[in-house]
Chains A and B, each alone.
Chain A
């Protein structure tokens, strides 16, 4: 059953603590993304990765870190430097295509992780 798995579904962070959100995909997609969504707001890009061992900052990378050691996995760490981490975090993946393969350029989402501060 192909898809994107995010865990945990709910996560609580204490003051000064780093927490890691897991994202695993078995779609054989090259690109993976992390978004943050605040209540009533759109999606904001935190980090993205087009290939293994390479990733780029998005629009709101401060206070976050990622790694891409395997094609299937793209974990996100919310560090203590992120002062307002309460949000809904979404992981996505896509298979990049050009020209006749444009139909492959679709982004799919995991179920999300809801992070709150204790």
Chain B
């Protein structure tokens, strides 16, 4: 089945270290993928869309067709980056609804 996979449920890095949250997909072509973030006690919010190629809060994500990956990267992690990160596959259904990967809990240690 077509889906996204986040292989790491938990990821810890030290402040100032680079961080990479993995997301692999099984869709063909150039799927439009998303990264959403949920900070503690806050609502889910959009972090990045593949198609916009933006850098938000220092995070970037590039679609790698060869590896079928859409990893989220930041060169220098900050403690406030600690949160739950979800990779989301392309919209599905006639209503273009979002579904989510299993998520990765990132903890940035001081």
Q: Do A and B come from one complex?
A: no
Q: Enumerate chain A interface residues (CB-CB to B < 8 A).
A: none
Q: Enumerate chain B interface residues (CB-CB to A < 8 A).
A: none
